[in-house]
């Protein structure tokens, strides 16, 4: 059991559509980060949410947006989907720390396929 729950596990979308991915963090964790893992690559940081605000952002276009709710769960939204957005999207949660990654727990991910 990862402790971090992501839904859905798999998703197929058409180019130009919009998608929302969901993440429930591990109990006791209040910081949520999202990563994109393309095939054959390491995960790439998208952004991090803490106290319902985006705290850090990686090199991703504005088509990628997110939200954190008062219960610490989070959503990742991607608009105007491109074929290149096909990837495994990982959610990671942690307790808030100065460096924020000592206690990262990852979910199993959502596999997004854009056709």
Residues that bind other proteins (CB under 8 A): 2, 4, 31, 33, 35, 40-45, 48, 50, 55-56, 58, 90, 92, 94, 99-102, 104-109
Q: Which is nearer to other proteins, 8 or 16 (CB)?
A: 8
72 neighbors 103 (Cβ within 8 angstroms): no
Helix (H) or strand (E) holding 65: strand 64-68
Query: Smallest distance from the beta carbon of 42 to other proteins, in angstroms?
Result: 3
**In the complex with other proteins, which residue's Cβ is closer, 81 or 109?**
109
Left if phi > 0, otherwise alpha if psi is -120 to 50, otherwise beta: which for 48? Answer: beta
Specify the residue, 5 or 86, whose C-beta has the smaller distance to other proteins.
5
Identify the bridge partners of residue 64 per DSSP, sorted by sequence position.
Answer: 78
- Please list the residues that pair with 49 across neighbouring strands: 32, 54
Shortest distance (Å) from residue 13 CB to other proteins: 21
């Amino acid at each position: 059991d990862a402790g971090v729950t992501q839904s859905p596990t798999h998703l197929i979308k058409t180019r130009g559509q919009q998608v929302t991915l969901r993440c429930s963090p591990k109990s006791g964790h209040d910081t949520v980060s999202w990563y994109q893992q393309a095939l054959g690559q390491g995960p790439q940081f998208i952004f991090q949410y803490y106290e319902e605000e985006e705290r850090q952002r990686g090199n991703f276009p504005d088509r990628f947006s997110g939200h954190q709710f008062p219960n610490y769960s989070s959503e990742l939204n991607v608009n105007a989907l491109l074929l290149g957005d096909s990837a495994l999207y990982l959610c990671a949660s942690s307790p808030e720390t100065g460096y924020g990654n000592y206690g990262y727990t990852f979910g199993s991910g959502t596999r997004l396929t854009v056709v």
